[in-house]
Structure 1
Amino acid sequence: MAERVCDSLWRCSAPAGPELSPLVGGCEVKVAIVGGGYTGLSAALHLAKFGVSVAVIEAQEMGFGGSGRNVGLANAGVWLEPDQLDKTLGAEAGNVMYNALAAAPDYVYQLIAEYDIQCEPVRNGTLHAGVGKSGLVQLQRRCEQMQRRGAPVRLLDASEAQARIGSTKFNSALFDPRAGTIQPLAYARGLASAALKEGAKLFDHSPVSGIHPLENGWRIQTAQGEIRAETVILATNAYSEYGLKEQACKFVPIYYSQLASKPLSESQLAHVLPNKEGVWDTCTVMSSFRLDQQGRLIFGGMGGEGRVLSNWASQRVSELFPMLSKVEWDYCWTGQIAYSEDHLPHCQQLQPGLYSIAGYSGRGIGPGTVMGKELAEWLTGKREALSVPTTLLRNIPMREFKRLFYEVGAQTYHLGQRAHALD
C-alpha cells in the first residue's frame, strides 16, 4: 500500500527531525553507516561520543523504515522464548543475549531522558494477551521461563487481564513492567539529533549506488557524492531491498499494518487500557493495540493490504471493545519486519571492515538501540564481543515464496475472521 505523506500517525505527530541535506561531494570518516534507523543512529551516537569520526547515510529520511513505522512497544528481550533461545545458541550464548536485551528498555528510556527526546515515553509495562487455551499455555510457559531468569514479569488471570485491557476476550496476560511505549518516529528523530549533537555527520535522501573495497577501507557511492571509511556498517534491516539486495536475501520481509482512530472520549479511555500499557496477542496472525498521548487507539496486524485490514480491524475492535461502537480510522500505514530463519538478530562480517546487522523480527526499538551501542563499543575495543550471533547467514531458500505465504496467510485470516463475524 503506497503511503501518502500523512497516512502515518507517527509522521503527522512527531516533532520535526534535524534539518539535513543529501551527500554532495566527498566525505572521509573512520566509520560509515548505511541506514538511519535505530541501529545506525545509535551506533553513530555512541561512536561520536567515543571520539570516532562517523557518518550516517540514509536513502530517504531518518527513521523512514521500520524505525518510523512500528507499533512503538519498547519491549525487553527477543521474540523467542528463553529456553528456545538457549537451544538455538547454546546456554552460555543464549544467556548473554537474554541478559543484554532484557535490559534494553532501561537503556532506551535512559537515552530519552539524557537527550530530552520528545517521543511520548510511557513506561507502564506491556501486556502479552492470551487468546484461547493454547495462548494461556504459551503465556504460562513464557512466564515460568522468564521468572526463572529473574524477570519481574507476572501472569495475570482472566479477571485482572480483562480489567487492565478493557476487554472480556482475553483469558490471561503476561505483564512486563520493564517495558513501555514510545512514539517510534519521534524517538528515531531524537536519536538523530543526539548523534548530531555528539558530532556525527548525517546525510539523508542519498541512496547508495555502490560499495567498493579500497586498499585500506571502503568507498560508498551515491548519485552526488561518496564516503570513504575504514569500516562500514550496513544497518538497513528489512529495507535492504533498496540498494543492498544481497543482504535482503538473508531475511524474509513481513508487512505489518496499523490504523489509528480519532481520539477516544474520556469515558471510553476510562475503560480501554486505563493504565496505557501496550498490548499484543498470542494469535498466530498477531495483532496489537495501544493508545497514544492524544488518546487515539492504534490497532495493528500482520499483512499489507489496507482495505482488508481496515475492515477486519474495525470488526475486531468492535468485538474487543463494544463500548467503542463504530470506530473511525484517521490514519493507516504499513511497515516491514525482517525475520531471520532463527528469529534472532545477527551481526555478520561480510568482509574485513564490512558489517551487516539485521533480523529483529519485530523487536527493533530496544535491541536496535542496544546493538548500536554494542557495535560502537566493539569497534573501539571497549568490549570483546557482541551479544548477538556473528555467524554468516545463508540466503533464505524460497524467500519470495515464504514472503507470499505469510502475506496471503494474513489476508486469508483477516478475510475469514471478517466473514465469520458477518455470518
Structure 2
Amino acid sequence: MLNDPHSHGLWEISAPAAPQTSSLTASLTADVIIVGGGFTGCSAALHLAENGVKAVVLEAVEVGYGGAGRNVGLVNAGMWVMPSDLTRTLGTDYGQRLLTALGDGPQYVYGVINKYGIPCEAEPVGTLHCAVGQKGLEELQQREAEWQGLGAPVVLLNASDAAAKLGTSVYTGALWDKRAGTIQPLAYVRGLAKAALAAGARIFTGTPVLAVERSGNGWTARTANGSVTAPWVVMASDAYTRMDGPWPALRQEQVHLPYFNCATRPLSAEQLAGILPERQGCWDTRSVLHSYRLDHAGRMVIGSVGSFAGTGHAVHRAWAKRALAAIYPSLANVEFEAEWYGKIGLTADNLPRFHRLAENVISFSGYNGRGISPGTVFGREIADHILGRKGAEDLPLPLTDPHDAKWQKAQEAFYSLGAQVSHLMPVTF
C-alpha cells in the first residue's frame, strides 16, 4: 500500500482484491460515522447495516491499512495478561464479562467467516504458546490452571508432545489453546468490508477525517473534499489514530510497540515434512517474543518486536534468518519473499479501553496485539450499544476517560532500540 512493500508484505501479495471504494467527495447524512476501516470499524459497520442503520466508514488510506492488515494473523482468545490479573484490574463483573466475550471471540470470528464466505485461509485448529526453558514452562502451567479453572479447552503439552505438533524440539512444552487459530488478516478485514457494503454500509477510502464538529444535535466529520453528518460517531482508529485528526487522545494513551514479520517463499513438500503438521500458529514466552506460522501456500511467517525503519531492517532481517534456522535447521537457507512491519498500541495495564469521548462519540481501542478477535467482537458490541440493546454499563469494559501514557516517547524509543540490541544477540533456547 502506498507503494511501500514493507507495510503489508505477504498479506497484500496473497489477499483477494479489496472491495471497490472511492474517496468522499460529497456532503452526506447518516446514522453513524465510523472513523477507521479496520476490524473494529468494519465489524461495527456490518452489524449496524444489517440492522437497518445507515453507517458510513471513513478510512484515511485503505481498508486494513493499520494493524488489521499487518499483524501475524493469530486469532487468539483473551488478552496477553493472565485471567486472574484481568479480573483483579477490572473487578469480578467486568473481568468475567470480558473473559467470556474474548474467550468466545475466536469462535465468533470463524462464525463470521463462515456466514459471509470470507476467503481468508481460516485455520481454526488452535494456537501453541511455546515455553522457553523452565521459567517459560512454569508460566504456561499457571496459564493452563487459570484457563482450565474457567472451563477453557487449553492443554499443556510436555516437551515431546509439543515437538510432535511443532516439528522442533527446542521448547520445554507448549500450551495448546483449542479455541484459537489463524487467518490471513488482510483478506479477513477486506471480507468484513465487502459484507458491510453488501448489507448497505458505505465505505470511503483515501479519506482522512480532519475534524469532527458539533452540528445541531449531532456531529459532522469534515474531510478534504466532503463531510458526513450523523447523530453518532465511532472512533475505530486505535494505534493508527492521527495526531492531526479528531481525538488524538486515543494515540496519546498508547505506547507504540513495533512488530515485524518475514515470510519465506512457499516451502517444498520435503521442507514442510513434519513442520507444524496441523497448522497451528505459534509464539513463545520470551519477553521479546518470537512468533511463527504457515500460510496456505506453505510459506513460513516468522516475526518479533522491531521496526524496519533505519538500521532496524538489516538487524531484524538477519535475526529472522538465524531464528528460523535455530528452530528449523532444515530451513536455514530459505530466502524471504516478503517483509513488513507495523505497530501495536500498548496500554498501561495491557487491557483495551472503552471511552465516551463526547456525547454519542464512543471508541474501543488499545488491543495490545490482540486485534482480530477483540476488534470483531467489540465492533458487534458497539452496534448493540448504538441500537439500544446494551447500555454502557452492560458492555465488556468499564467506561473510562483517556489518560496520556507516561514517558510515551521514551518507552517507544526504548522498545525500538532494545529490540535491535536483543536481535543482535545469538538465538538460544
Q: What TM-score do the two structures reach when normalised by structure 1?
A: 0.97
Instruction: Tell me which moved more, 204-213 or 144-153.
Output: 204-213
- Tell me what 1:390 maps to: 399
Match of 1:4, as an amino acid?
D
The alignment status of 1:42 with 2:49, answered yes or no, reads: no
Pairing partner for 2:269 from 231, 246, 266: 266
Match of 1:92, as an amino acid?
D
- Tell me what 2:356 maps to: 349
Pairing partner for 2:381 from 364, 367, 374: 374
The alignment status of 1:416 with 2:404, answered yes or no, reads: no
Instruction: Note the C-alpha offset of 1:356.
Output: 2.1
1:162-182 Cα shifts (integer Å, max 9, x gaps)? 121111110010001111110
8 A Cα contact 2:162 2:174, kept in partner: yes
2:399 counterpart SS class: coil
Instruction: Tell me which moved more, 360-369 or 399-408.
Output: 399-408
Instruction: Note the C-alpha offset of 1:37.
Output: 0.2
- Tell me what 2:338 maps to: 331
- Tell me what 1:139 maps to: 140
Instruction: Note the C-alpha offset of 1:123.
Output: 1.0
Backbone CA RMSD of aligned residues:
1.4
Instruction: Note the C-alpha offset of 1:4.
Output: 2.0
2:400 counterpart SS class: coil
Instruction: Note the C-alpha offset of 1:241.
Output: 3.0
- Any unmatched runs of 5+ in structure 2? none
Q: Output aligned runs, 1:89-238, within 5 Å.
A: 89-238=90-239
8 A Cα contact 1:207 1:243, kept in partner: no
- Tell me what 1:296 maps to: 299
1:307-357 Cα shifts (integer Å, max 9, x gaps)? 111100100111111122312101000011111111111110011111122
Pairing partner for 2:328 from 321, 325, 328: 321
Distance (whole Å) between structure 2 residues aligned to residue 389 and residue 252 of structure 1: 21
Distance (whole Å) between structure 2 residues aligned to residue 228 and residue 157 of structure 1: 57
1:133-166 Cα shifts (integer Å, max 9, x gaps)? 1101110000000000000100000001112111
Distance (whole Å) between structure 2 residues aligned to residue 243 and residue 147 of structure 1: 45
8 A Cα contact 1:157 1:171, kept in partner: yes
8 A Cα contact 2:265 2:336, kept in partner: yes
Pairing partner for 1:284 from 283, 287, 294: 287
The alignment status of 1:312 with 2:312, answered yes or no, reads: no
- Tell me what 2:366 maps to: 359
Deviating beyond 6 angstroms after TM superposition, the runs of 4 or more aligned structure 1 residues are: none
Instruction: Tell me which moved more, 369-378 or 86-95.
Output: 86-95
Distance (whole Å) between structure 1 residues aligned to residue 373 and residue 324 of structure 2: 28
Instruction: Note the C-alpha offset of 1:9.
Output: 0.4
1:284 counterpart SS class: coil
Distance (whole Å) between structure 2 residues aligned to residue 287 and residue 119 of structure 1: 23
- Tell me what 2:413 maps to: 404
Distance (whole Å) between structure 2 residues aligned to residue 328 and residue 302 of structure 1: 20
- Tell me what 1:4 maps to: 4
2:249 counterpart SS class: helix
8 A Cα contact 2:241 2:251, kept in partner: yes
Q: What TM-score do the two structures reach when normalised by structure 2?
A: 0.95
Instruction: Note the C-alpha offset of 1:251.
Output: 0.7
2:20 counterpart SS class: coil
1:369 counterpart SS class: helix
Match of 2:315, as an amino acid?
V
Distance (whole Å) between structure 1 residues aligned to residue 261 and residue 305 of structure 2: 9
Instruction: Tell me which moved more, 100-109 or 5-14.
Output: 5-14
Distance (whole Å) between structure 2 residues aligned to residue 346 and residue 287 of structure 1: 26
Distance (whole Å) between structure 1 residues aligned to residue 4 and residue 90 of structure 2: 42
Distance (whole Å) between structure 1 residues aligned to residue 43 and residue 74 of structure 2: 18
8 A Cα contact 1:345 1:389, kept in partner: no
Distance (whole Å) between structure 1 residues aligned to residue 418 and residue 398 of structure 2: 30
Instruction: Note the C-alpha offset of 1:243.
Output: 3.5
Instruction: Tell me which moved more, 135-144 or 385-394.
Output: 385-394
Q: How many residues align?
A: 419
Instruction: Tell me which moved more, 35-44 or 268-277.
Output: 268-277
Distance (whole Å) between structure 1 residues aligned to residue 3 and residue 25 of structure 2: 28
Distance (whole Å) between structure 1 residues aligned to residue 219 and residue 256 of structure 2: 28
1:208 counterpart SS class: coil
* Gap change, CA 1:367 and 1:318, over 3 Å in 2: same
Distance (whole Å) between structure 2 residues aligned to residue 134 and residue 147 of structure 1: 20
- Tell me what 1:32 maps to: 33
Instruction: Note the C-alpha offset of 1:5.
Output: 4.2
Instruction: Note the C-alpha offset of 1:242.
Output: 5.5
Match of 2:331, as an amino acid?
L
1:295 counterpart SS class: coil
8 A Cα contact 2:127 2:178, kept in partner: yes
- Tell me what 2:69 maps to: 68
Distance (whole Å) between structure 1 residues aligned to residue 75 and residue 118 of structure 2: 15
1:143 counterpart SS class: helix
